[in-house]
Amino acid sequence: MSASAGMFIWGIIASIAPLATAWPYVKGLPRVYLSVFLSLPSVFLLTGNTILGKLSDILGRKPIYLMTILFYLAGLLIIFASNNVVLLVIGIALSEIGVGGEEVTTLSLISEDVPIKHRGKFLAFVPNMNNVGSAVIAFVFLYFNSSSIQIQKLYFLIIAFFAVFLALYTRRSIPESFRWLRETGSEKEAENLYKKLKISEDGIRIKEPNFSVSLAFLAILGISQYLTFGLMAYIVGPYYFSPAQVSEIIFYALLGASVAGIIAMFLVDIGRKKYAILSYLGGTISILLILATIKYVDNMLVFLPLLFINMMFSEFAWASRTTLEPELFGTKRRSTSIGLVRVFPILAYIASIYLTASFTLSQYIFFNLALWCLGLVAAIVWMFIGVETKNVSMDYYS
């Protein structure tokens, strides 16, 4: 519940920048400044990923879990009170830093404390609440499209604060990771917690996978998935459609992702390798369909169903990442490593926002196709040289 609430908040925050492009003090920005505005959230997300990820390995999962709430509260209030771009960016920045810490800590905690038979399902389902949060806030903005921005902000604040309250209420009693406690020398406390969690089986214990190989593989998967997700869910609307259509595009994109997240819970346990290939192959085929119908993209009856399908596979690929990232690193550096993996796709995403600002729509979709092919090739290579982590214990030996 606590982790799901945090991911829901992330979804709300992730959608604010593109949705705000319809607000009076944002929609008048020239394309070059719009690119800056849309890329800034990722800068602060990366800040949270790396700094709070490192602190999560040093201080523990629970302290960072509580710290993220402070960033959320400050950021959400500033977003609500903003009446210019500068204040809005400050609010988004604080919120995204919290999101960055939330993400790496959540994935680490789930992989460390959840029994192995449920681990894959939780690692697929909980991050999917990000999509649900984005879909909900996009629907609110779509429903109140003709209302004042104060009405939109009010509903944004009410929904976000409810999720923050739920996260805060449940986090008071959440236990620390027993694996983190064990790794940092608190063995007695870790053993007591292990018994309390009633973990009956712990999986096959193997040597920790090669760090450099895992990092390179996950970075490539991340670049493929993160860019295609962000570009098709959040950027294509502000770049190629009217401000009034942005919330509709984001809603249908994230609705597709949300539905897929539920399906992914059950698919991910076919094996991490097979699942990765399925996800990236489906994404490649679905973006090809959009490219093949590019002449009809301005017709929402054509574009939105195809986008819905494409975003389903993007979510499948996201679930592949959220299971593999915590599973391929040891407990001592798990959060730090997940944060490090994020550096590559987020920097590439920021660059792609600037790069694609001058693209035609056909070039934009073709760029997405190339990214999907990159991920598919990586998944195929991993099938032959990678580690299958489905039934592997998170207690690696050196």
| 255 part of a folded domain | yes
pTM above 0.75, yes or no: yes
- Please, how many CA atoms are within 13 Å of residue 202, restricted to the half-sphere of its CB? 15
Residue 195 CB-density burial (10 A; 0-12 exposed, 13-18 middle, 19+ buried): exposed
What whole-number distance in Å separates Cα of residue 90 and Cα of residue 260? Answer: 32
Range of the domain at 134: 2-385
Say how many residues make up the chain: 398
Extract the tokens encoding 61.
Answer: 């999962």
Question: Is there a domain that residue 397 lies in?
Answer: no
Kindly list the distances between the CA atom of residue 112 and the CA atoms of 89, 183, 228, 236, 335, in Å, as whole numbers in the listed order: 35, 11, 29, 37, 11
pLDDT in tens, 279-320: 999 999 999 999 999 999 989 999 999 999 999 999 999 999
Written as one letter, the residue type at 140 is V
Whether 392 is covered by a domain: the verdict is no
Paired tokens of 27: 């929609």
Domain count within the chain: 1
Specify whether the CB–CB gap between 123 and 110 falls below 8 A. yes
Burial (CB count <10 Å: 0-12, 13-18, 19+), residue 189: middle
Give CA–CA dist 372/217, Å, rounded: 14
Q: How far apart are CA 1 and CA 233, in angstroms?
A: 26
Domain at 281, CATH number: 1.20.1250.20
The answer to whether residue 244 is domain-embedded is yes
- Give Cβ neighbours of residue 263 (< 8 Å, ≥ 6 apart): 312, 316
H-type alpha helices, the chain: 2-19, 24-27, 31-47, 53-59, 61-81, 85-113, 116-143, 149-171, 178-183, 187-197, 211-230, 236-240, 243-267, 272-292, 300-327, 334-355, 361-385
- Across the chain, which has 398 residues, the per-10-residue mean pLDDT values are 87 92 89 91 95 95 91 94 95 95 93 91 94 93 84 92 89 87 89 79 85 97 97 95 91 96 96 97 98 93 97 98 96 94 96 95 97 98 96 84
Question: Looking at the domain assignment, is residue 393 inside a domain?
Answer: no
Q: At 133, list the tokens.
A: 């949060």
Residue 174 pLDDT: 85
In degrees and rounded to multiples of 5, residue 364 shows phi and psi of: -60, -45
Look at residue 394 and tell me if it is in a domain. no
Cα-based distances in Å from 120 to 110, 154, 204: 9, 36, 15
